[in-house]
Amino acid sequence: MGSIDTSTRVESGPDPIPTPNVTANGLSAGEDSVHPPAVDSTGASAENESLRKRKCSGVLPLEVGTRVMCRWRDGKYHPVKVIERRKLPCGGVNDYEYYVHYTEFNRRLDEWVKLEQLDLNSVETVVDEKVEDKVTSLKMTRHQKRKIDETHVEGHEELDAASLREHEEFTKVKNIATIELGRYEIETWYFSPFPPEYNDCSKLFFCEFCLNFMKRKEQLQRHMRKCDLKHPPGDEIYRSGTLSMFEVDGKKNKVYGQNLCYLAKLFLDHKTLYYDVDLFLFYVLCECDDRGCHMVGYFSKEKHSEESYNLACILTLPPYQRKGYGKFLIAFSYELSKKEGKVGTPERPLSDLGMLSYRGYWTRVLLDILKKHKGNISIKELSDMTAIKAEDILSTLQGLELIQYRKGQHVICADPKVLDRHLKAAGRGGLEVDVSKLIWTPYKEQN
């Protein structure tokens, strides 16, 4: 019936870092216990505490832009920058909470913190950015560096400096902290421009079938008793086992399309929010059980694209990530292009992670063909077979150093051992699209 099970909380962040065992004296297990010399409580220690308090009160309230160390959920202190502050109701002159950016991590982990989480002895109000970045990179482990490299830039490659500043200023503070969707409570990653009446909400409750959102749990429960949807509106065009894909026309289901965009923006920093969803088709992937079809992720595409875009936006919801669904959605978009008899390419700019996903898909598809093919094959023939745009094929093969330019034309050099090495590096292909289960008519042919 779509009733809400006990919510499973999904936290989005780096891999958990083990918290040290703390002994009774406050030291990590294994550390040498160093006992401070005994002092009179009215002596030096009291004087030092008084000096510390005066020093701390001198920097409060912290200004926007201040650098300080902050205790994160792993129990350790990490460098942050104060992005915004707000006064606590019924608080004193210096009683604020602060919205901070963890400079070691992606913007998706920005959050509001209380004063007691901050180490005021580490306050820096003026910092040389270049020096700080250099020091930070030296302190990071290889694992942390790789995670930052994978997630640091979120698709602003084509924005000029002024536009990027404007975007970051407008979206700098996350307005919705968590959402409830089906049986999951999910921490959000980014700002999403919900209507003004939701400005005072830190949590929203979504109907997982029609995607209407509410401020309170009781409202959602009342809504679920009346909502007769058990799956996304639109046509089911694919069913294989427990997986289903629904095609939703933005013109026929405008409110659903807009709500899906609001939801997606919470997890996509670079996404442009389109209020005119009439021009788009949404392909919503679901896991199905006896309670209904539960959204896993989606991609959208323009109904008519002059640039041959076969995908405008793609998202796998956090509870379903790292299960192969993103690769499935990419593969599905190309199967639709094949049905249309067209070549396709994703809309630019791609985020860093988006480009990694597509590079992996293009690599696996092209190398599988090259391994099996006997004799010469051209880029045009590869494009016709895969629906991948020739420019994407060329850039992928060049990146793999499998192509050379001879006598005025590109020649593919496919040594079997080299192909095997690249295929192994590209990783698994994820879930397979069973084309025999796809029942779909291209939009242009519909009445």
Rounded Cα distance between 50 and 46, Å, is 6
Q: Tell me, yes or no, if 347 is annotated catalytic.
A: yes
User: Residues 116, 154, 347, 381: which is the catalytic one?
Assistant: 347
The angle that helices 390-399 and 352-372 make with each other, rounded to 10 degrees, is 90
Helix (H), strand (E), coil (C) string for the chain: CCCCCCCEEECCCCCCCCCCCECCCCCECCCCCCCCCCCCCCCHHHHHHHHHHHHHHHHCCCCCCCEEEEECCCCCEEEEEEEEEEECCCCCCCCEEEEEEECCCCHHHCEEECHHHEEEEEEECCCCHHHHHHHHHHHCCHHHHHHHHHHCCCCCCCCCHHHHHHHHHHCCCCCCCEEEECCEEEECCCCCCCCHHHCCCCEEEECCCCCCEECCHHHHHHHHHHCCCCCCCCEEEEEECCEEEEEEECCCCHHHHHHHHHHHHCCCCCCCCCCCHHHEEEEEEEEEECCEEEEEEEEEEECCCCCCEEECEEEECHHHCCCCHHHHHHHHHHHHHHHHCCCEEECCCCCHHHHHHHHHHHHHHHHHHHHHCCCCCCHHHHHHHHCECHHHHHHHHHHCCCEEEECCEEEECCCHHHHHHHHHHHCCCCCCCCHHHECCCCHHHCC
Q: Closest Cα to residue 427, out of 339, 347, 346, 322?
A: 322
Q: Do the beta carbons of residue 439 and residue 238 sit within 8 Å?
A: yes
Residue given tokens 């920093």 in the structure block:
269
> What does the block give as tokens for 235?
């046509």
User: Hey, which residues are catalytic here?
Assistant: 347
